[in-house]
Structures are given as structure tokens and as C-alpha cells.
Structure 1
Amino acid sequence: MNPGTEHPARHWHALDDGRIQCDVCPRDCSLKEGQRGFCFVRQRVGDQMVLTTYGRSSGFCVDPIEKKPLNHFYPGSSVLSFGTAGCNLSCKFCQNWDISKSREMERIADEASPEGIARAAHRNGCRSVAFTYNDPVIFMEYAMDTADACHALGVKTVAVTAGYMHDAARRDFYAKMDAANVDLKGFTEEFYHRLTGAHLEAVKETLQYLVHETKVWTEITTLLIPGQNDSEREVGELSAWVASALGPDVPLHFTAFHPDYKMVDLPPTPASTLTRARDRAQKEGLRYVYTGNVHDTQGGSTLCPGCGEAVLVRDWYRILDQRLDAQGNCAGCGHPIAGRFDHTRERFGARRMRVIM
């Protein structure tokens, strides 16, 4: 399959009325000839569903893995990041809206085959490739083929996603992933429906599936928006659910909102809000809680649950100190730190490199 051509899509079925239904996510888009789904990139052509962005990207960059954010997946390593266009959510606060809401092919002008992406990651010394910027759920065929090519070269794969999927597609997709950061955007159905156009329960199901039925290393990000999802009650209920339903070792990142897209009338999230959320989540029993999008060395550092000492000290995306042995145990007390670690001591830092394919 040549880059940029229509690629046969998975997970759809014919309806009795002549339409075909996409079964990737709970939107269940039912399409007549030529129509596109809500995500814009899955289209009916003839009697089948196709992916129109296969082999097309919005750009390739090498980032620190902590930027995804993943703090427990080979800390300090570099990751080749890319996305396409479109999205299956309609978040009014989207901070990548120029990509996720794009309807112009110029936005995805870079072309690369799955094998080309894998070679670029390997050539640039990247430990992993991340499917990000927009949600890889909607370009799952491209992401899955790229994951196969990456694994053939010993490169890991990461999904940065809102987790809004049906079960069969979810199982198909995550069989190819090594790690995921899932946006848990809030913890009320009202918030999800009003500000994302989606539903909370499907995201909770994805998180439970990942943690309990797969070996995919999973972390969670919640963007705290002033007056929308940052109340003491909602933060407490979200944190308590993560601790009880997923377990205390699942890392949770609270990140700061900045005005963008359709929500420019709200102020940025104060750092104090993130600190309070972190404190509350720790009181609910979570062992690894972080703040993001603010300068907060304490909130960005990994603490040992055994002795309380910092085993990974971070300044933004830069690791200042690392006190772990090769197996990921605290060098001080020997307590195991949840995550994926090895004997290497990579320190890619806060750099970002544009990659020309």
C-alpha cells in the first residue's frame, strides 16, 4: 500500500438499510456512499470502509517520553511522535485543535510508510514511537502496521489516546501497543457529554481492560479546567476510582489547562489547583501522582512508596537525579517501583527534534 492512498479499514458491518456502520468507537457512524464518519478520516467507498490518512502524517518529532506524559516507561528515553488528522471526540478545550479538527490534507502533508517510520525511530535512537497529537483510535490500521514494523526493529510503541473505543476494536488495537497514556478528561457524564461529545463509561472500560487484561503499561492524564472538572469532590471521586478500580500503582497526571479553541474565556489552571489535586489523590491511596504543564519539580518527581525518597527527580522533562537499580527498585530501600525499566540510564532531556522522513 502506497502512502496517502485509501486503505481498507477494519471493524465495520453492513446494515439492513444499505448503509454501513463503523464499529471502532461508540459513535457508531452509519454511512452512505461517499460519506465520512464524525472523525472525518474513515469513509465509505463503494461497499467498504476505508482509512483516508494511511501513510499521511501531521509531522514527526523526537520528544522526551515524559512529554507524552509517561513517567514510568523507560524514563529519560526519546520517542518519535506523530499523528494524522481528525478525531472522534469534540473537546471544546482541545489543545491540538489545528491537527485534530483539520479538514485539509495540507495538514498531513508528510508521507511515511510504517517501515519508514520504524527505520527513522531506530536511526534516531528512539526507544519508542508514539501515536499522538490526534487520537490513534481513528487511524488504528496505520498505527497497528507501524507497530508491527517497529517491533521488528526492537522499537516499542505508545498510544496517547482518549480511550473512546468499542471492545473488539480495543482488543485488536492494544494487542500491538506496549504503553498507553489515556486521557480521563473528567469524572462526570455531564462533563463528558457537554464538553467532549462523548461518554465517560466507555473510557472507564478501556482503562479497566488495559490494566487488568493486558500487559500494556498504562498511565492516566486529567486536564484540570477551572470551574469545570477541578472541584475537590470530582478530583476525589476520580482518584478514589483509579485507586480502587485500577490499583494504587497506576500513575495519574494532573495537568494545567490553557485557554484554547472554543474555551478562550477561562483562565489558565493555577499551579495551586494541581498541587491540591495531587495531595488529594495521594490521600486516596495513589502512589504515583504528578503535576504537568507547570514548573513543579516536586510534582514531577517519582517518590518511592517504601521510604518516601525521590527516585526520579525531574525538572520539566529533564531528569536531574535517578536512584533506581537495573530492575527498577529503589536504590535506597529496595522497594520496587511500578513501571518499565532496564539497566540503561538515558537522559534525552527537554529537547525536541524535527525529523525529516
Structure 2
Amino acid sequence: MHEAHQYERIGDGTVRCSLCAHRCTIADGKHGICGVRINRGGTLYAATFGKVVSEAVDPIEKKPLFHFLPGTLSYSLGSVGCNFRCQHCQNWEISQAGLEDLPLMTINPEEGVERALASRSASIAWTYNEPTIWHEYPLEMGKIARARGLQTVYVTNGYITEEALAELAPMLGAFRVDLKAFSDDFYRKVCRARLQPVLDAAVAAHEHRMHIETVTLVIPGLNDSMEEMEALIRWVVENLGPDTPMHFTRFHPDYHMRDREPTPFALLERIYRRARELGAHYPYLGNVPPGPYENTLCPSCGSLLIERSGFMSRTVGLSKDRCGSCGERIPGVFPA
């Protein structure tokens, strides 16, 4: 197996992992919370290096990323394991699976880049399960990808340490991060994690000049109060900037949370309007019927710039990175 990065030996064959905010202490023969970083004889190994369970070519809008190469394809890879235990996980079949639970194919980093190029994708995304715990694999593949002209994407829960993020920073273009709630109680009870490390990682990604978009799944009765949504919006505007695209998505029952109703569309509309009132320039709604809440509008003159329907997008009023009507610069990474 591939020796891990981001760990230290602390004696008696025990190691401490510094990859994610759990900072697991792992005895010989044991693994971390993620299930895929294993201590063998005092050396920590990345057991899923090159091991892939999901491979697809997706529209970048599916991540969702709306201001990062819109209208392009993203070669997407996922493996098994996660450092969260979200009760509502939509990919639980792989995120909560172990190494022996599913058939894993091997795709080495060089081969992954070649497959991405052959698919005519503009980027590689590590997604479906949590990419943080796959650290060494996307790190190596991403360096090759950037040298070959491809962009790179993490679709992440944000529970990465600042030192691990700094190691990724030279190769990572987009940090699409879940802000699952703005309550530490929610994170502890629903995800078995904490809120603050996610906020710290988002700020660190911003300081590393990665492209950031946030996603919040609005779950009835758990994180859907306007007070909490307003606090989350204010935090993003103040700490990541008003130009940060914010996606608020509709919940549907899944995994261990099948007893709740889908999010009322009227509530999502209120959150969208409130986000604009609080200074967020680019709020979006997801998991909703096609409509205007997926479109990109110029924050200066209101002109339609990018029209979307599902995972399809059409550039209407954007000239490179500027509004074709008023000349306002639109933040993001756009195709040449």
C-alpha cells in the first residue's frame, strides 16, 4: 500500500493522523474514523490510493459548480469511506462502505489524467465520497492534471486540516464545500463532527485563492430556521466575500432520515430572497424544478448572464468574465 502523508509517529507503534480535523490517534493494526487510513507496524498507509468505486463524466453543474468552467464536463472519481456519519447521506452505499464491501478498480494517477483528457473534460473532480481521506491520490493526480492543462475540483465536507489543505493548494482549483448547518449541535448529532473546523478550512481555502462555492442542504426541522440561515449567509458574506456562490438545496428523505418531508419550496424561495438582501450576490436553489433560481444574474444591472435548466447551462449575456450589458466583472473561472 501507499504510505500516507500528514501523520506523525508518537511511540509504541501508534500514530496520529493530521489529515482531517478528527486528528485520529491510531494504534498498530487499527484505522482512523474514515476507515481507509491504516496503521501497520507504526506506519500509516492510504489504503484506497488508486482504488476507485465510481467513475463518471459529469456536467460541472452537477457538483454543483456554477462559476467554475460552466458548460464543461468534469471527469469524476470516488472511492469508499468518509470521515462523517451523516444520517441523511445520499451516497451512503459508498461513503459508509469499507474496503471489503464493494469491488474496487485500480486507476493510477497517470491513467486517470489520460481518461479525463480522452473524455474531453475540462477538469477532474474527486467526489461522491469524501476526497479529503483520499488525500495522496488526488494530490498526485492533480499535479499531473494541472501540468496537462486540466483544472481540479474537491467536492468536500470541508473537514480537512489547514496543513493538509496547504499541501493541496498548489494543485487544487475549486473547493466546493458543504456548509451543512450553522450549528455545532447539528454537526455533532447529525454528522458526528464539529462546525468550526469546516469554517476554518473554508477561510483557509479562500486565503489560498481557490475558487469556493458553498452548498447547504436545507432539512425541515433541523437547520431550516431563518435565524440560522441568516447567520450562515452573514458568515459567508463577511468571511468568504459577497461574490461567493451559495447553493441552497432541497432535502429529500434518504438513508437514516426517511421520516422527514422534502423542504417546502416556499421556504427555499425565502432563503434565496434573504440571501440577496443580506448581500450575497450569487445565491442559487438546487434540487428544485427548472426555473430562474438556477440562473446567474449580473449583481449590478440584473441582466441574465447564464441560463440553466437542470445540469445544462447556456451563456447568454457573459463576455469572457464581464457582463455584456454593463461591463461588471463576474467572479469565477470561465472557459476561454
Provide TM-score, normalisation by structure 1. 0.92
Listed one character per residue, the Cα deviations across residues 50-80 of structure 1 (whole Å, up to 9, x for unaligned) are 0111111112100100110100001100001
> What RMSD over aligned residues (CA atoms) do the two structures have, in Å?
1.2
Larger mean Cα displacement after TM superposition, 301-310 or 16-25: 16-25
2:297 equivalent in structure 1: 303
Kept in 2: contact 1:297–1:313 (CA 8 A)? no
1:79 equivalent in structure 2: 74
Q: Provide the C-alpha distance between the structure 1 equivalents of 2:269 and 2:74, rounded to a whole number of angstroms.
A: 28
- 1:215 CA drift (Å): 2.2
Kept in 1: contact 2:303–2:317 (CA 8 A)? no
Structure 2 residue 8 is matched with structure 1 residue 9: no
Q: Which of residues 85, 93, 96 is equivalent to 2:88?
A: 93
2:331 equivalent in structure 1: 338
Kept in 1: contact 2:54–2:128 (CA 8 A)? no
Listed one character per residue, the Cα deviations across residues 91-110 of structure 1 (whole Å, up to 9, x for unaligned) are 11111100100014452522
1:148 equivalent in structure 2: 143
Q: Which of residues 252, 255, 264 is equivalent to 1:261?
A: 255
Structure 2 residue 294 is matched with structure 1 residue 270: no
Counterpart secondary structure, 1:93: coil
- 1:17 CA drift (Å): 5.0
**In structure 2, do the counterparts of structure 1 residues 323 and 105 end up closer, same or farther at CA, with 3 Å as the change threshold?**
farther
**In structure 2, do the counterparts of structure 1 residues 337 and 204 end up closer, same or farther at CA, with 3 Å as the change threshold?**
same
**In structure 2, do the counterparts of structure 1 residues 108 and 224 end up closer, same or farther at CA, with 3 Å as the change threshold?**
farther
Work out the percentage of aligned pairs sharing the same amino acid: 38
Residue type at the aligned position of 1:236:
E
Paired residues for 1:109-124 under 5 Å:
109-124=104-119
- 1:175 CA drift (Å): 2.7
2:56 equivalent in structure 1: 61
2:322 equivalent in structure 1: 329
Kept in 2: contact 1:57–1:112 (CA 8 A)? yes
Kept in 2: contact 1:64–1:317 (CA 8 A)? yes
1:219 equivalent in structure 2: 213
Residue type at the aligned position of 2:120:
G
- 1:152 CA drift (Å): 2.3
Listed one character per residue, the Cα deviations across residues 10-65 of structure 1 (whole Å, up to 9, x for unaligned) are 11112245421111112121122210111000000112100111111112100100
Residue type at the aligned position of 2:201:
T
Listed one character per residue, the Cα deviations across residues 83-130 of structure 1 (whole Å, up to 9, x for unaligned) are 111001111111110010001445252220111110011011100000
2:225 equivalent in structure 1: 231
Paired residues for 1:30-45 under 5 Å:
30-45=25-40
Q: Provide the C-alpha distance between the structure 2 equivalents of 1:335 and 1:30, rounded to a whole number of angstroms.
A: 50
- 1:330 CA drift (Å): 0.6
Kept in 2: contact 1:254–1:291 (CA 8 A)? yes
Q: Provide the C-alpha distance between the structure 2 equivalents of 1:118 and 1:320, rounded to a whole number of angstroms.
A: 27
1:189 equivalent in structure 2: 184
1:353 equivalent in structure 2: none
Q: Which of residues 231, 241, 248 is equivalent to 1:247?
A: 241
Give the number of aligned pairs.
Answer: 336
Counterpart secondary structure, 2:318: coil
Q: Which of residues 126, 149, 160 is equivalent to 1:131?
A: 126
Kept in 2: contact 1:85–1:108 (CA 8 A)? no
Kept in 2: contact 1:12–1:21 (CA 8 A)? yes
Gaps of 5+ in 1: 1-5, 344-357
Q: Provide the C-alpha distance between the structure 2 equivalents of 1:49 and 1:170, rounded to a whole number of angstroms.
A: 19
Q: Provide the C-alpha distance between the structure 1 equivalents of 2:126 and 2:109, rounded to a whole number of angstroms.
A: 12
Q: Provide the C-alpha distance between the structure 1 equivalents of 2:148 and 2:173, rounded to a whole number of angstroms.
A: 14
- 1:342 CA drift (Å): 3.4
Provide TM-score, normalisation by structure 2. 0.97
Kept in 1: contact 2:305–2:323 (CA 8 A)? yes
Residue type at the aligned position of 1:126:
S
Residue type at the aligned position of 1:149:
I
2:204 equivalent in structure 1: 209
Counterpart secondary structure, 1:14: strand
Listed one character per residue, the Cα deviations across residues 263-308 of structure 1 (whole Å, up to 9, x for unaligned) are 1111111222221111111111000000001114211000101101
